[in-house]
Amino acid sequence: FFFKQKTAYEISACLVGSEMCIRDRGRTYPNIQMFFEKVGNHPDRILNLYFAYSVLLRALNRAADYLKIFDYTTGDFQEDQQTRVMVSTLLNHTLSESTVPFIESALFQDITTDTKRRTFMQYVLNITRIMDCVECEKCKVYGKMQTFAIRTAIKILFLSLIHI
């Protein structure tokens, strides 16, 4: 588990990193050649990304009951309603259309101690700090949001292990 997630985070950081973008006259474009050099031509890296997003999906489904009743208040009634509908639609889709990609107790068997969990979470936090070095603000924000989502997903899954 640890190796797959670690590799996926590194690939993900690479995908949003400044080298994956071409800047021209104030606009940013994807660097397709760099994508294939770093990710696209490496099936193992694609599989690790798939695994990382499976972790996100599993955590989303684990937290569905809470997310359905969460108070999404933005201060704008229409936005609040729209947010509730969008979250409900997303959850209904992921719960009905996705299979369980893994069983947490089997997946996390190599991260059974609190020390190993903290070490792993520290590693993920370090990736967020690395994102501070990215020049493109859009890429930096996207990368930080992505690693925050992955950290949150792992916390949800670790918490569910305690309560199984």
Alpha-carbon gap, residue 97 to 112, rounded angstroms? 30
Segment holding 74, helix H or strand E:
none
For the chain, report the end-to-end CA distance as a whole number of angstroms: 19
CA–CA separation, 130 and 38 (whole Å): 18
CA-based nearest residue to 154, from 52, 15, 27, 4: 52
Catalytic residue status for 139 = yes
Tokens at residue 95, please? 């719960």
Q: Which amino acid would we find at residue 81?
A: Q
3-class DSSP assignment, residue 27: strand
Looking at this protein, which amino acid is placed at residue 6?
K
* The one catalytic residue among 14, 21, 133, 136: 136
Report d(CA 2, CA 117) in Å as an integer. 10
Residues recognised as catalytic: 136, 139
